[in-house]
Each structure stands twice: as C-alpha cells, then as structure tokens.
Amino acid sequence: MRHMIVFKVDEYYDNTNPPPPEFVAKMGAYMDQANKAGVLLATDGLKHPRTGTRITVTNGERKVTDGPYAEAKEVIAGFVMVDVRSPEEAVEWASRFADIFDDVEVEVRPIMELQDLEPKDLEPQDFEPHT
C-alpha cells in the first residue's frame, strides 16, 4: 500500500538557508531506516512558496498567481512516499518523520491505486478540456 506523507510548516518557515547539521543527521538516519526497511519510494523537500506559482480555475476561468500567497497560514514543505503493509504502518513511519521537526503538521494519505477503481470508472469517458 503506497502512502504519501506530506509535511506542513507555518508560513514563516524559511528554507533558503541550509538546515542545521543536527537536522540533516536526523533526516539522514530516518531515510537510512526507511530505505533499509524497503519502504521508501521517494522523498523531497520543496522550496519556499514565494518561489512557486498557484493556478486556480473557478467556473472555467483560470487565474495564475506567483508566490508568496497572502492567505497561506501553513505551507507544504515536502513529502515522503512509502510502500507499506497497512495504514497503521504508514502512520508509524509518518510519526517517526514528524519527530525530526520541532514544529510540523504531518498528513498521511493512501495513494489511489488502479485496483481501487470500479470497472465502470475504467471505461472510456467523453472529455472536453477547458480552453
């Protein structure tokens, strides 16, 4: 079962400077453990939202906004993707990950797999993209 572990930090988080050596050591140990356990599929940190772009579509109208975003109170700082035997195991790996930080919110969500879909969902659908 693949799960995405997304970690969020407050809007004042600034990752433009290198992280402290203690943090790097803890992160490295976590990655080593997850890799040795055979559960780690991918992981990455994200740059600050001021470097990103947000695209929203409302009633077919597209709006592109460069960061930072005034309404953001928390920001996605990165993710870990794991392949585990159960949702409980995913929560365990996410909890270990959260322990690396002083202040963080971690969300664990299963990834939708092809076998999660009903046969009717796999039939061709009429699709007209917005232009």
Residue ranges covered by each domain of the chain: 2-122
| pTM summary value | 0.78
Tell me the H-state helices in 65-111: 87-98
What's the CA gap between 63 and 58, in Å, rounded? 8
Low-confidence ranges of the chain (pLDDT < 50): none
What's the CA gap between 70 and 64, in Å, rounded? 14
- In this structure, how many other beta carbons lie within 10 angstroms of the beta carbon of residue 106? 17
Per CATH, is 2-122 categorized as 3.40.50.300?
Answer: no
What's the CA gap between 72 and 9, in Å, rounded? 11
